[in-house]
Amino acid sequence: MEIMAGRTGKIIFLVIVFLVVAIAQAAAQSPLADEGFSRIGAGLGFSITAFREETDLPLNRYCNALTFIIDADIERGKFLHSFTVGFFSGKAAVIMSDPSDVYYDYFQKEYAFSRLYAEYANGFRLWGNQAFPGYLGGALRGDFYFYSLDQTVYNGYTAVVSLGLYAAQKWVMNTKSQLILSVRFPVFGYASRPHYFGFVYNMGFSEDAIISLHNYWAVFGELKYHHQFNSLFSLNAGLDFDFSHIDFPRPRKDILLRLTAGAAFTL
């Protein structure tokens, strides 16, 4: 587990570095003649989440944890680019029964649950005016869920990469304040999940599958408020909502509500 945790940390670090470099390059290559902005920031969120993974047992698990987030918005002309990467890890206790006990004695087990997600979305302004523009486009998203029972006994994962629809509505209240509502719907992608759990490490073969609306559907929503203090610095607060359902090889459902706060710099 320590080796796996070390590798996970390196992967997260590389993803963050890649994201920052990609944002900087996108901002540098954008034509200066176009009106717009480039904002990159970081923040913390508190995620209230529940999941039901039926690979082992059809039980609900609940996990509340701090989330570290890096995000950015780049607007050039009629295009709005959005980058997000986040990670959180926590523990969830569940009540289980021992069927070998004639009295079905109940006991408590602890799940460790981690999630890494990254997304790039690009929307084209199709409606509204300068104060109330609306955007429609697409999003490329990756989600990785890892969970283990008692740290060393059982473990499993779900990895999903998807393409989907992206829509955003911005409300520019004044020169300092704006509100952005965005929604993403994955439509097509690829996923990998295990058939069953193994002892110590997952010894089951993973099942890889093309995903579409018949075996995977989800909605990811975000409402974010930005307040610009000066030409370089702003604060933001947000509310995120996620729901996803995957059907193979056995069902998994995830639901999440997250409050976020952070700071950003305008480039």
Whether residue 15 is predicted with pLDDT greater than 90 in this model: the reply is no
Tokens of 214: 């018949």
The string of pLDDT tens digits covering residues 127-169 is 988 899 999 999 999 999 988 766 556 677 899 999 999 999 9
pLDDT of residue 55: 77
DSSP for 40-54, please give it.
EEEEEEEEEEEEEET
**Contact at 8 Å (CB) between 141 and 183?**
no
Q: What is the pLDDT of residues 43-55, one digit of tens each?
A: 999 999 988 888 7
Write out pLDDT tens, residues 227-245.
998 888 999 999 999 999 9
Q: Which is higher by pLDDT, 229 or 10?
A: 229
The pLDDT score that the predictor gives to residue 231 is: 83
Of 54 and 105, more confident: 54
Of 82, 81, 51, residue with least CA distance to 64: 51
pLDDT recorded at residue 27: 45
135 exposed, middle or buried (CB, 10 Å; 0-12, 13-18, 19+)?
A: buried
Distance in angstroms (rounded) separating the CA atoms of residues 33 and 76? 9
The answer to pTM > 0.85 is no
DSSP reduced 3-state for 81:
strand
All domains of the chain in start order, with CATH: 2-266 (2.40.128.90)
